[in-house]
Structures are given as structure tokens and as C-alpha cells.
Structure 1
Amino acid sequence: MASGRPDLKRSFSIIPCFIFVESVLLGAVVLLAYRLEYTDTFPVHMQGFFCYDSTYAKPYPGPEATSRVPPALIYPLVTAGPAITILFGELARAFFPAPTSTVPALREKTIVCGDCCRFSPALRRLVRFLGVYSFGLFTTSIFANAGQVVTGNPTPHFLSVCHPNYTALGCPPPATDKPGPDRYVTDQGACAAGNPALVAAARRAFPCKDAALCAFAVTYTAMYVTLVFRVKGSRLVKPSLCLALLCPAFLVGVVRVAEYRNHWSDVLAGFLTGTAIATFLVTCVVNKFQSRVPLCQRAFRWEGLGPVPAIENPLEKLNSAQSCRAVLVGAT
């Protein structure tokens, strides 16, 4: 600015809105995600199975902690990785601002709330992007858990932990001249011989929650890198970085299928869920990580376009000619 003073804007609603609206919504999402994941508030649908179905008869791969990509590795990465990337990007944007020709036409202002509280654009952008990411991460978990509860689709190792008694269930042994399952079991007590905790976990396969969380994290981070980072002199830096971010998510899906913890359909559904939620939040909520331009400025923005072209109106010509004629008649 010409006076050297910061561009200020007073607002008394930013703190109440953050405390009573956004924090409440985020808390409600976290509570719902916890209820779906760790409690029996929403019981899992008991889906039946065919006798001797080889689709669900893969060997039990062991607890989740023994996987090559355990939750203890996935959850910290999807939480800390994007947060560190966004923090680094916003600090770089604050201390090394882009040239005037490359920044958006509308710059965010420092908001003053009361007499002491000031919220700089860098702080508000950081809180906004991290808050939306946290909201999306728990929302992805809710969608994945809700899909698992509603469908109750078994995992590939379901029969290995179910231990069904085929004789008591009336399942005839498989015959060589009649391959494949021939009886559908819907008995709720078919898995009475198995561990109840393992059986309950084996009924939650579709969609794959780990794949959904990884897809959301890498999609959100890749879109942030693409839309915010500015690299001069090379056109392959950002695409290479984004592809490097996508590779771990793909490997997580491959490992889940290779260890017989999920089907390919479960992993693909998880990828689509996480990608769709990240794309929606980036496009519609945070406006592609850019400042919003008011509608009036977007509609009447003539800066840099030269003089506005004038359109002659024939009615104006007629009115001007009649007025000149009237003046001449009055003068004579």
C-alpha cells in the first residue's frame, strides 16, 4: 500500500464462528468416526456365504499389526505427511512471496478481532487448509466404515477365521463332477467356533479403509503441491513429486490384496472414495487453495484489458439530432 500500513479488516465473528461452528462440526465428525470404528453402535450386516467358497477361503494372514503396511505406519503417515507439506508450503509462501504478476488479483487481509487479536493471511490459510484436511480425513474414515457396516462384505480369509461346521450346516462335500459352491449359508451361528473379534473384523472388507485414507491423503497433498508450489525452470518437478506421492498409496492397495486382507474391488472402492472426497474439498471448499474473488469483481474486471469498447446506440443518435434541431429552431 502507498501508506505502508498493512491492509486490515475488522471482524467480530471469526472467533465465535471458529469455536461454535467449525470446532463443533469437526468434533461431531470425530465422534461419529469413533463410534463407527470402535463401538457396536452400528452393528455390521451379517452377510451369508456359500459352502466351500474359495473366494473367502484364503489363509488367515495374521493380525493387522503383523502386516507389511500396518496401521501404526499408515495412520502417522497420512496425518503427518500432508500436514508437514502444507506447513512447509505456507511458510515458504509467507517468507518468499511470489512476484506481483503471479499472485491472485485479490489479496487476503489481516483480520483484526477486538483490540488485541490479529489473524494474518498466512495463519488463516494454514489453519484453513489443515482444518479442511482433518475434516476430510475423518469424513473419509466415516464413509469407509459406513460402507463396511452396511455391506458386511467378507474378506478373502473369512472362512479361515469363521471355522464353519459344514456338516452341521447341511453342506454336502464338494464333488468333482459338480465344482463350486452349491448352498448359501445364512445361519447367524455359522461362525460360532471362530474368534468373535476376528470374525467381526473379517466382515468389514468393502471398501478398504486403509486405501481410502491413503488415496485422500495423497490426492489432497498432490493437488496442494500442483496448485500452490511454483517451480521455475522445470516442468517435470511437480508432476514427478505428485507421482512419487501416489506410489505409496498404490503399494498399500497391492499389499492389502497380496496378504489376502482385501479384494481388488475393496481397494478400488477405497481409492475412489478417498479421491472423490479430496477433490470435492479442494475444489468446492478451499477454492483450489486460492483467495476468493468477489462476484462483482469477477463480473466487472476490466483491469489490463484496455479501454472498454463503446457501442453506439441508434436511439441516442436520433435523440441528439432532434435536440440539435430544436436548438437551431429556437435560435431562429
Structure 2
Amino acid sequence: MLYFQLVILAGTVMLAYYFEYTDTFSVHVQGFFCYDSALTKPYLGGEERSAVPPALLYALVAGLPTLMIMVTETVLFLVQYTSKEFDRLETTVATGDCCYLNPLVRRTFRFLGVYTFGLFTVDIFVNAGQVVTGNLAPYFLTVCKPNFTALGCQQALRYISHQEACTGDQGDILRARKTFPSKEAALSVYGALYLAMYVTCTVRAKGTRLAKPVVSLTLVCLAFLTGLNRVAEYRNHWADVIAGFVIGGAIATFLVVCVVHNFKGKLLLGEDPPPSPSQDPLPGGSVLNMGRVDASLEKYIASQIWNADKGFMTMEADFQEPHRLR
């Protein structure tokens, strides 16, 4: 099953790569109305000039959960490891038939593997939505630079549907056609919710009753501010950001609840399970079982002897009855 899961993860990564860095899936060309005020917002430059540039966002989304999960799992493992006797704990678990993994490594890779899978899943969902809809950014007409006179835009309600209407930079135009849903909003909410639920479900130390809500709400607030920044910089519509929030939150909730089951599981394998009623815990269990069998045999033999004696006495009485009559 481990190899099968790795194959699924590799396929997810490849699909996200094809969506992100190749032209395998062409973007739907959506038309626009002449002088549409919703598409004439100013263009503030490339994504790297944003208040939350992609490099910073991706570093936080990938690095912060990884660091926090590794540190938390290590601390919890050490606390539990030192709180019990060494000879009463089993510190390794089997993985397949070839190797053994420490429970710390197993849990950490499980949670981070699911998180990584979710990241690429969010990216695939977002890219699929952007390719299918081709929704236009608020600054689309600014970078499109259409010749309204040549297009016959004497009336503002005239609809332009052909791709050749734009005369601006083709790279900027392509990015302006891929805004629904917002990738930045989806990734930020996914990372924030996954990490918030991890902290809430895993950390159960005393004195964290208020610390856990503060950390969780801080993460969610940062993700919310990321979506607001996209709207404030005219890079996305409100509908784009809300759709990104829904996608990221739904995938994070599904993975936490249905896949990792609210991060339940022991850091260390507990003590040996109690023997079932069908098993004898004593080393001399076989002798006791033989004793029970011998006792049953003795009862059976005694009952047979008693029945035989009773039958013999009955036959003897029948034989003596005629002599008494004489």
C-alpha cells in the first residue's frame, strides 16, 4: 500500500506540473463588453510586486507546516518516550516486509505526506477552474489594450468575443484570463486550516487552552488577509477569493477528518495487548488445557462405567427372577 500511495502522489504532482508549466490544457477565451468598468482597474505590475509575492506565499505554505509538524511530533515523542519504561515500549513498527520505521518517522511522514498531497490537489482544482472558466481579472482591459474604435465599440454593451481583440503583452493577457478561483486564497486557507486543526487535535499539554486557539486563529487570519490583499490590489474579484477559500477549506477539512482521522494515533506502540479469552496467558497454558481434557475424559469414562454397571445389575435381576418364582 505504501508504494501504491507513492504512485498516487507522483501522479498528482505530474498533473499539477502539466497544469502549471505546460500548455497542454488551453485556457478558455472569454469575451468582454466594451468599456466594462469591472475590468478597467489599474495594473500594479507582476505578481512579484504584490504585497504577498508568490515566493513568500509558497515558502510559508510549504515550510511553516512542515517545520511545525516536525517539531511538534518530535517533542511529543520525546515526552512520551521518557515517561514510560523502555522495556515496556515497542519503539518500531513494521512497514511492509522489508524495513522498520520509528513511530516518530512514521507519523511525521504520514501527516506531511497527506499535507503535500493536499497542496497539489488544491493546485489541480484551482488550475482546472481557471482553465475551464477563463474568468477575466479586474485589470484585464488595462493589459489587453483593445482598439475600441476598430472593434466598433460605439456602444458600451457591445460584446467582443474574438481573441485577436487584444494588442497588449500576451503573457500578461494570459495571466489576466486565469483568476477564478484565486490560487493564493485557496493555498493560504488550506495551509492555515490544516495546521490549525493539527495544533488543536494533537497538542494536549496543560496550559494550552488559550494558546491553541490563538495560534489557530492567527493562521486563519493571515490566510484571510491574503485573500483581502488580492482584492485590494485588483488582482482578483471577490468571487475569485471566496471560491478559493471554499476549495482550500473543503480539501483541508476532508483530509483531516476522513484521511488522517483528526490526527489520531499513538506516538509509541503501547504495551502488549491483553490476551484474548481463547488464549492462555500463562506459559503452561498447554498443560492446563491438557488437564482440562483429562478431567473431561475421566468424567466420560466414569459415566460409561456407571451405565455399564447399572445394565449388568439389571440383567442379573432378570436372570434371578425365575428362580424366585420356583
Q: In 2, are the aligned partners of 1:48 and 1:184 still within 8 Å (CA)?
A: yes
- Post-superposition shift, 1:90? 0.7
Q: In 2, are the aligned partners of 1:208 and 1:269 still within 8 Å (CA)?
A: yes
Q: Matches of residues 176-325 of structure 1 in structure 2 within 5 Å?
A: 181-191=156-166, 193-291=167-265
Question: Take 1:189 and 1:112, find their aligned partners in 2: how far apart are those partners?
Answer: 58
Map of 2:317 onto structure 1? none
Q: In 2, are the aligned partners of 1:231 and 1:237 still within 8 Å (CA)?
A: no
| Partner residue of 2:27 out of 21, 44, 47 | 44
Question: Take 1:170 and 1:112, find their aligned partners in 2: how far apart are those partners?
Answer: 69
Could you tell me which amino acid in structure 2 is paired with residue 280 of structure 1?
Answer: F
Map of 1:122 onto structure 2? 104
The answer to whether the aligner puts 1:170 opposite 2:152 as a matched pair is yes
Question: Take 1:113 and 1:186, find their aligned partners in 2: how far apart are those partners?
Answer: 57
- Post-superposition shift, 1:188? 2.1
1:60-108 alpha-carbon deviations (Å, 9 max, x no partner) = 11011111110010001100000011101110111012999xxxxxx99
The answer to whether the aligner puts 1:23 opposite 2:6 as a matched pair is yes
Which structure has the larger Rg? 2
Question: Take 2:52 and 2:136, find their aligned partners in 1: how far apart are those partners?
Answer: 20
Question: Take 1:233 and 1:156, find their aligned partners in 2: how far apart are those partners?
Answer: 47
Q: Matches of residues 35-74 of structure 1 in structure 2 within 5 Å?
A: 35-74=18-57
Length, aligned pairs only: 261
Question: Take 1:121 and 1:98, find their aligned partners in 2: how far apart are those partners?
Answer: 11
Map of 2:141 onto structure 1? 159
- Post-superposition shift, 1:152? 0.4
Q: Whose helix fraction is larger, Structure 1's or Structure 2's?
A: 2
Q: In 1, are the aligned partners of 2:27 and 2:132 still within 8 Å (CA)?
A: yes
The answer to whether the aligner puts 1:135 opposite 2:117 as a matched pair is yes
SS of residue paired to 1:89: helix
- Post-superposition shift, 1:113? 5.1
Change (3 A) 1:25 1:248: same
Where does the alignment leave 5 or more consecutive residues of structure 2 unmatched? 84-89, 267-272, 274-326
Could you state the TM-score of these two structures normalised by the residue count of structure 2? Answer: 0.76
SS of residue paired to 2:163: coil
Taking only aligned residues, the RMSD between alpha carbons, in angstroms, comes to: 2.1
SS of residue paired to 1:41: coil
SS of residue paired to 1:37: helix
Change (3 A) 1:234 1:283: closer
Question: Take 1:135 and 1:157, find their aligned partners in 2: how far apart are those partners?
Answer: 33
Where does the alignment leave 5 or more consecutive residues of structure 1 unmatched? 1-16, 101-106, 174-180, 298-332
Could you state the TM-score of these two structures normalised by the residue count of structure 1? Answer: 0.75
1:130-188 alpha-carbon deviations (Å, 9 max, x no partner) = 10000000000000110000000000000000011111111115xxxxxxx31111122
SS of residue paired to 1:118: strand
Q: In 1, are the aligned partners of 2:92 and 2:100 still within 8 Å (CA)?
A: no
- Post-superposition shift, 1:291? 2.8
Among all aligned residue pairs of Structure 1 and Structure 2, give the percentage whose two residues are the same amino acid. 52
Map of 1:315 onto structure 2? none
